[in-house]
Amino acid sequence: MQSIWFTRPNPDYINQKLNIGTIDQHLGINISEVGNDFIRGTMPAHSRTFQPYGIVHGGANVVLAESLGSIAGSHVVDQNQYRCVGQDVSATHLRPVSAGLVTGIAKPVHLGRRSQVWQIKLSDDSDRLTCSVRLILAIIEIKL
Segment 13-70, tens digit of pLDDT: 999 999 999 999 999 999 999 999 999 999 999 999 999 999 999 999 999 999 999 9
Question: Does any domain span residue 6?
Answer: no
Question: Does any domain span residue 30?
Answer: yes
Segment 78-128, tens digit of pLDDT: 999 999 999 999 999 999 999 999 999 999 999 999 999 999 999 999 999
Q: How far apart are CA 81 and CA 44, in angstroms?
A: 34
Question: Does any domain span residue 54?
Answer: yes
Q: Indicate which CATH number applies to the domain containing 18.
A: 3.10.129.10
Residue 90 belongs to domain spanning: 11-141
Number of domains in the chain: 1
Residue 107 bridge partners (DSSP): 119
Instruction: Write out the catalytic residue numbers.
Output: 66
Question: Does any domain span residue 3?
Answer: no
Question: Does any domain span residue 4?
Answer: no
Q: How far apart are CA 67 and CA 69, in angstroms?
A: 6
Question: Does any domain span residue 134?
Answer: yes
Question: Does any domain span residue 2?
Answer: no
